[in-house]
Amino acid sequence: MLVCFSFLLKQTFVNTLQLSITAVAAMVFTGFAWHVAILQSSTEIAAWLANTNLVRDISVVLNIDVLLSMAFCLLAANIKIGEHVGHKARWLYAFLRFFPGIMIVPTLFALLVETIFMFPGEDFSLIAWTLGGVFCVAILLLTYTIKRLLPETFLRLELLFLCNLLIALVGIVATSEWQNSRCGNRQHKLWCPRRYTCFGCCGWHCGNVVATLAQQTANETVRITHTRYTKTFRRNT
């Protein structure tokens, strides 16, 4: 749910053409992924979750996705307030702005597998393309709704940053709980010093970044107000 919300929130920063391309790409991916989805079973999925190396790889991919989204938030904030940004940073911002994310792909695939399991005996291709059409329409409508409900750019940036930070924390907790359950160390899982140290560092970093974004928002508001006041004063004089 958090991955889907973060994906939709990030789509509010792209134009209509880019949003349409992303929605159509999600529909096409879902429509053609049924060939792989029908090969999955609950036993095979349970075997995947029991694989330690696979779970760690998923955690690494999740962290990379979160870092890319956070980098987009910081670059977007710097560009919006008019700070000097180099050409490489602007190219990176353009790439991160259009890049929809990594974890949305396995999320769509998981939803497709669950939907196929819910309708046994039905045509797999029909289910896949119908679900792909639902994804396409939902992406367009929900992105437009979020943008209307949250018209301020800096507010959406802060919310996107906090949402990705929460995704990272949930991923750390889930991976730690899974490792403890596999290893049988249930008596130590509530009092793990490394876990609370990690949470403390993440919370401290989150506070600093949010404070920076809030200060940048305030500075931008003051600058816009001053510009409008100056234009009004010159017009009256």
**In this predicted structure, what is the pLDDT of residue 100?**
87
Joined together, the tokens standing for residue 178 give 């899974």
Other C-beta atoms lying within 10 Å of the C-beta of residue 210: 14
Angle between helices 2-11 and 153-183 (to 10 degrees): 160
C-alpha distances (whole Å) from 73 to each of 35, 132, 163, 190 are 36, 29, 11, 33
| pLDDT tens by residue, the chain, 237 residues | 888 898 999 999 988 999 999 999 999 999 998 888 887 776 776 677 666 677 777 878 888 888 898 889 888 888 877 666 678 888 888 888 888 888 899 889 889 988 888 888 788 899 999 999 999 999 999 999 999 998 888 888 888 998 888 888 887 776 666 556 555 544 444 445 555 455 555 555 555 555 555 555 556 555 655 566 566 656 666
Alpha carbon distance 179, 161 (integer Å)? 27
**In this predicted structure, what is the pLDDT of residue 120?**
82
**In this predicted structure, what is the pLDDT of residue 186?**
45
- The answer to whether 29 touches 105, Cβ cutoff 8 Å, is yes
- Give the distance, in angstroms, between the CA of residue 19 and the centroid of all CA atoms in the same chain: 15
Interior/surface letters 33-58, b for 16+ CB within 10 angstroms, e for the rest = bbeebbebeeeeeeeeeeeeeebeeb
Q: Is the CA virtual torsion 107, 112, 115, 120 positive or negative?
A: negative
Among all chains, which residue has been given the structure tokens 């429509």?
A: 31
Global pTM reads 0.71
Alpha carbon distance 117, 109 (integer Å)? 13
Alpha carbon distance 62, 166 (integer Å)? 12
Q: Is the CA virtual torsion 19, 25, 26, 27 positive or negative?
A: positive
- Give the distance, in angstroms, between the CA of residue 151 and the centroid of all CA atoms in the same chain: 19
C-alpha distances (whole Å) from 129 to each of 25, 53, 123 are 12, 33, 10
